[in-house]
Amino acid sequence: MTDEAPIRVLLFASDLMFQSRISAEARGAGLRFGWGGNLAKWADQLASAERPLVLVDMDLADAPSAIHSARSAFPAADIVAFYAHVRNDLRQSAQDAGATSAMPRSRFITELPSMLKAQSELS
């Protein structure tokens, strides 16, 4: 992985410890990733990805908007939303906004390595 490699994974989350964990997993899979800010900040780099992976924490106040914007900008993107297991109501909100899948945070952490591996295998 080089600094010139395109960003292929984008994370919207407010928890810095969680961002660090996901960043380490992405680097371990040989992927560059970006987080936060608005989608326009990452649009050029994500545009070169065959099927970008966008990860959205539903605890963010603007999570549905982030999902909708990502879906509009990157129709082929895999958009995965995650939420606290006690907030099952957020699952439908994520799906309504255009998420490919939505899952409790614990399941997300379990499945993250395979999601990143699949992303690293894309050309």
pLDDT, position 4? 63
Distance of alpha carbon 27 from alpha carbon 31, whole angstroms: 5
What does the radius of gyration of the chain's CA atoms come to, in whole angstroms?
13
Hey, where are the domains in the chain? Answer: 7-121
CATH numeric code, 7-121: 3.40.50.2300
Question: Pick from 58, 60, 104, 111: which is nearest to 85 by CA?
Answer: 104
pTM higher than 0.75:
yes
Q: What is the pLDDT of residues 14-27, one digit of tens each?
A: 888 888 999 899 98
Q: What is the pLDDT of residues 50-82, one digit of tens each?
A: 788 999 999 998 999 999 999 998 899 999 999
